[in-house]
Amino acid sequence: ERNWPARRASAERALAFLVENQQQGVWAYPWGHRCGSNTQFALMGLLAATRMGLEVPEETLLAAAEGLWQFQD
């Protein structure tokens, strides 16, 4: 059995966490080290939220697009 209302509420909390914890366009460890791997998983979480019908703020996506340049050599 699927409990979609509970899953949606959980997904909304996870999305809010990702949006609130974005730093300079990317995501970091709790001690502040920005990390490409954490950013990759956060972006996959944003994709999952979108696929569930949740609205990801455009500014979060734009900041991520800009922030990814930090990891380019």
Distance in angstroms (rounded) separating the CA atoms of residues 13 and 55: 12
- Looking at residue 71, the DSSP 8-state letter turns out to be G
pLDDT in tens, 53-65: 999 999 999 999 9
Measured CA to CA, the distance from residue 18 to residue 48 in angstroms comes to 12
Tell me: the pLDDT tens digits for 9-53? 999 999 999 999 999 999 999 999 999 999 999 999 999 999 999
Q: Are the C-beta atoms of 68 and 25 separated by less than 8 Å?
A: yes
Two tokens, residue 59:
């500014």
**pLDDT of amino acid 65:** 96
Do 60 and 15 touch, CB atoms closer than 8 A?
no
User: Which of the four pLDDT bands, split at 50, 70 and 90, describes residue 72?
Assistant: confident
